[in-house]
Amino acid sequence: MSFSQQSDDADQPMAEINITPLVDVMLILLVIFIIAAPLMAQAMRVSLPEVKAAAEKVESPLTLTVQADGSMLADDQSITQDQLAPLLAQRLTQQADLVVRLAADSQTPYGTLAKILSIAQESGALRIAFATAPLRTPAP
């Protein structure tokens, strides 16, 4: 890299960019962010007012767990597909906006899940959620 100019190109601008000021600014910004990041991560303490009103009761969803062999659990109680419709009808009379959480094994046949979804919809369940698990990253 030559910083001297030849006598024949005295009117030409230097074509090489000096990146030293850019690196200096980046290092200063890095130091500022390292110092400021812990300050932004602290939680603010708030003194909330106290009231006499009771907290709203949140109804729990009905969790249907379908295993690969077709067996089914409703809130950890073993049931059959024939028992599902009366159970849903009973729970929907108690709670009109019941959420049915469907957790199925990844090896469960699609036909089994389609039949369970059909029973749930025929029973009047409008809110159906599918339970999933986060992807596991392989160990290095």
On whether the CB atoms of residues 62 and 101 are closer than 8 A, the answer is yes
DSSP 49: P
Give me the helix-helix angle, 110-122 and 81-94, nearest 10°: 40
DSSP 104: E
Q: Where are the chain's structural domains?
A: 62-130
User: Considering just the CA atoms, what is the radius of gyration of the chain in Å?
Assistant: 32
CATH topology of domain 62-130: Nucleotidyltransferase; domain 5 (3.30.420)
| Tens digit of each residue's pLDDT, the chain (140 residues) | 555 555 566 677 777 888 899 999 999 999 999 998 887 776 666 666 677 776 666 678 888 888 888 889 888 889 988 899 999 999 889 888 888 998 888 888 889 889 999 999 998 888 898 887 776 666 56
* Torsion angle of the four alpha carbons 30, 32, 34, 40, in this order, in degrees rounded to the nearest 10: -130
